Structure 1
């Protein structure tokens, strides 16, 4: 019912043609009437949270617009507001999740357990994504969601362009097929700036987009973008002169698939976009030759723009050791940090996942009440921390906010200079296995404990490795979310990786899966 209401409003506004239809609902996703009471309460809360975020973002954009107006520059500013970087996300899965990274690793939240955390959703104790059903509703009138580059539910976003001095028309609509790569050429064109051939002596790749400026003054202007390929995680499509051939390869919330999917088994669909705005009517059976020509065109465009080889992995690609892609640190197995070094993303520091490693800190304690974080990575929703609490050394490993494994020394440290070392002995035998954490001070064992499970692919998209503090959310509640800086002196902190685990098909960078999937 919500999709029907939304579509009618879209028709009334003119942002879709009057004849636009609702595309099919994704198979396997329940409708509202199919949900249990707990699922409905959770779904409502998830969407309330999303609505609040959207309102907050809108207010901030409004502040920016107001500032431009106060400066007298709003009418002379080319303002482009793209309503999303993709379609609404279905990565919350059927149930939704209160911690995004769980589902990304194949851990599904139970609604009958999530309901106990209902009031936390949207607050600092949650990292939520709404159920896929909401994503489908938000992507009205299209099919599917983010990741599904084959269908408009995954790719088509509205764009607002405001430039009174260049476009005197108010409230006009444009429906020419355009792509995000056309935005930069449009800005350059409007500003009268040529595309650079070289920047600081570095030759630039050619800009592949096409300016949309010609449509700003002429609503009936012809389309300059005749052809455009799409591909993400094996989902792929090709647009050409009003027709589109597409094939969905995966399901967005199955980010750690339990079986290989062959690209040759994918089923292609065909849509006449000029007469079927929302990809609602598949014409593949009626026009097999046109479908074949578009499939061939996809191969040409994909080869031209380095799409091949196709790679249908999702979460696995976050870990360079698993993905078989370039690691910024190369073959380095040791790195030393100093006090005040902060905000290292996972791509810019050593990868401690799925292997044994050690963390060695050279610190000075001014007194027995010294406390705070020596080094941390990640936060409340996944990560680890080496710290001092009540004068005692401690190590915490946070498994997606579900389990917290803590090892603490029994005795407070004496004032003075100490070497605090954490040795993590990984069990091996696969990804995300457990290990034993041992705390040593000046070479003597102070405590040890088990970490039953570890995070195999990534700790966080936005939290970082920090020395002397745990920024953003805390790994553990042993110290406060704010004011958790180490009160002693940190000379150095060194991370060392042990020898990599013996090679297997799980550690070949996905080569086996890619080769077999391409046959």
Structure 2
């Protein structure tokens, strides 16, 4: 992507041969109308004479570029929850806070996201289309085409940057997922971290990756790593609510004259689905009849509430999606419990959002705070496929059976272990499909509204009258930023920090605040994710499913897919709310015209090549990764994200450790990953132990026969893996003598986890091995001088 600088702000120094340094003509003054940010400093009101007696000091007034009644702004964004889940709008999960916002304001039933995490967040925060801002796929799957770099460009300033320049105090809490995975270490670069200069928040507390353990999250405060307490009552969603309340109170104490902008994106209900047992137990028995009947029940309730038009049709299940009746009776308790856990997880996080709303009321600022509650950054997620106790099994395309999973689960405590810290469970894709009622399909599918349509509730007591009549205007997540600019009378700046700005793609929704029947103003919007794509144009929608079927471990034909051969569908949304009646055969000319318009939109917004998001599925060797092949670590090396760490579990490597041991030495020498998958080398009362945790379903452990005596030792681990996913031969040596070996029958081809790390001398976060689970982080009690790693 070409970066454009504003020439009027450039200063040229000219070196003269005789006259020294001269400065070119004065640059044009920076305008004070907001077209160029940051604003120029106000001129001094003081008069400087030659002496103090001849001078007058008048303190310049602080500039104010906002309306006198500028509202506070709170954006709540939940994760991986679909259109048909919240009981606010007819779903099965109790969402009291969403209902509270909806009852105090207005709701939109034709609001859309991008079908996937990072792109939705980038579009929300910038007001631009996701590929225009380099976010055509998630940060971990970034590739080097301009629309897919995973880097929000400086040419598209965020809400935080613009509002901050106008005088807002800004803070973000929870999931970020918009920093390139290789830029998340303690060495940065920090430009694209939430509080980095490229993004602009004043404060951040949360996690940078796409997901994390809710029990032992990999947290960051601004640029600093934070370790949560090892407390059985700790939960990330509760922590995020508490941290937000603390920040709001500090804001009141230190900057009460400033309005605030808070972005609260907790990460629930993205996998892993972690929640206290009592919250899951609230839903015991409520899903016993399976996802097909749940979908029918939800559809009837949606119609009864008037949330969807009376003429809406319930769309059928895809042929490749299993019916509930196909699930063996012996497996159904497992599948039911997975959904009960998910439901409790979502109700719990909605309840935590309510604590933030309570604090706004306690502080007396609720009346002039506009709340955007976006119920989901995409549709419900089918990435759990058959249901799983280790979420990334599916992401790694690792074949497994329900028998393997149930056997592993039985070792952890049976069904009661689901939702707890020893598993990374996620539910069956059938539940996700039911969660997207009445639409077809799920998250990752941009062609159909099961992947992209999410409820939105907006409340602003000072300005918006409560009205439960759904707003039917077609809108998109890129419309939130221009809506905020509109109500603040901010013209989107032409230049920010010297970078000429990309156009805003969104359309303000403010015209709908007082009029549920106002004609829609958003006439065109394209959709694309992993080659699944569509185009909205003035009430019509053309789309094609694309190459990827997220609920299947292997999508048929993916390797030979040709975008030019995709069959397209056509829907008249004015009469067909749920995309139930394909009119492609009846309206071929309209369809062809819309396909042409899609290509024009795609070219303008850097969508090409279509399907770039699946490149790494076909070419995993091109994954975003560290350029290094050798490293030297010591006990100061902790919290190294797996995406930047050596591939100890997937590539041939040699590790050499120089350490000094005491008698009966214990503790972790190094660990990569967490409870859902990883590997660890540790000492337990002098015995050297190596464990390869193959995504919970298999564990390979080997121990030295003898204890290692006290004193200095060189400990080596040699691992040979022929190709990704192949077996590993692991040999342990001490002082040049082999002490143990094992064969890992299959290895992880991509990554153990999304956010766990490599740690030396300890195992921070979720522990790899159950052997030291109750002793975590199981810090080594000797001294580690060096850990050298070489990829072979």
TM bucket (normalised to shorter chain) is 0.7 to 0.9
Give the secondary-structure state (helix, strand or coil) at the position aligned to 1:166.
Answer: coil
Aligned to 2:439: 142
Aligned to 2:616: 317
- Aligned 1:35-114 pairs, distance under 5 A: 35-93=327-385, 95-112=386-403, 114=405
Greater Cα offset, 57-66 or 32-41: 32-41
Give the secondary-structure state (helix, strand or coil) at the position aligned to 1:78.
Answer: strand
TM-fit CA distance, 1:100? 1.6
CA distance in 2, matches of 1:489, 1:362: 9
Aligned to 1:253: 551
Aligned to 1:10: 302
CA contact (8 A) 1:394 1:439 kept: no
The answer to whether 1:165 aligns with 2:458 is: no
Q: TM-score, normalised by structure 2?
A: 0.58
CA contact (8 A) 1:382 1:401 kept: yes
Instruction: Check 1:182–1:361 CA distance in 2 against 1; reply closer, same or farther (3 A cut).
Output: farther
Q: Which runs of 4+ in 1 moved over 6 A?
A: none
Q: 2:708 aligns with which of 413, 416, 432?
A: 413
The answer to whether 1:32 aligns with 2:324 is: yes
Greater Cα offset, 304-313 or 379-388: 304-313
Give the secondary-structure state (helix, strand or coil) at the position aligned to 2:574.
Answer: coil
RMSD: 2.5
TM-fit CA distance, 1:244? 0.8
Aligned to 1:360: 656
- Aligned 1:226-375 pairs, distance under 5 A: 226-249=523-546, 250-257=548-555, 259=557, 260=559, 261-311=561-611, 317=616, 322=620, 324-327=622-625, 329-330=626-627, 332-352=628-648, 354-365=650-661, 367-375=662-670
CA contact (8 A) 1:345 1:463 kept: yes
- Aligned 1:136-215 pairs, distance under 5 A: 136-197=433-494, 200-201=497-498, 205-215=502-512
Instruction: Check 1:216–1:108 CA distance in 2 against 1; reply closer, same or farther (3 A cut).
Output: farther
CA distance in 1, matches of 2:552, 2:461: 45
Structure 1 unaligned regions, length at least 5: 499-519
CA distance in 1, matches of 2:791, 2:500: 37
Give the secondary-structure state (helix, strand or coil) at the position aligned to 1:96.
Answer: coil
TM-fit CA distance, 1:81? 1.5
Instruction: Check 1:358–1:184 CA distance in 2 against 1; reply closer, same or farther (3 A cut).
Output: farther
Instruction: Check 1:326–1:92 CA distance in 2 against 1; reply closer, same or farther (3 A cut).
Output: closer
Q: TM-score, normalised by structure 1?
A: 0.87
Greater Cα offset, 286-295 or 430-439: 430-439
Instruction: Check 1:354–1:30 CA distance in 2 against 1; reply closer, same or farther (3 A cut).
Output: closer
TM-fit CA distance, 1:159? 1.1
Aligned to 1:401: 696
Instruction: Check 1:198–1:364 CA distance in 2 against 1; reply closer, same or farther (3 A cut).
Output: farther
Aligned to 1:504: none
CA contact (8 A) 2:494 2:501 kept: yes
Structure number with greater CO (CA < 8 Å, separation at least 6) is 2
CA distance in 1, matches of 2:620, 2:516: 49
Aligned to 1:447: 740
Instruction: Check 1:114–1:384 CA distance in 2 against 1; reply closer, same or farther (3 A cut).
Output: closer
TM-fit CA distance, 1:136? 1.5
Greater Cα offset, 109-118 or 271-280: 109-118
Instruction: Check 1:346–1:209 CA distance in 2 against 1; reply closer, same or farther (3 A cut).
Output: farther
Aligned to 1:377: 672
TM-fit CA distance, 1:106? 2.8
CA contact (8 A) 1:234 1:311 kept: yes
Greater Cα offset, 78-87 or 193-202: 193-202
Which has the higher Rg, Structure 1 or Structure 2? 2
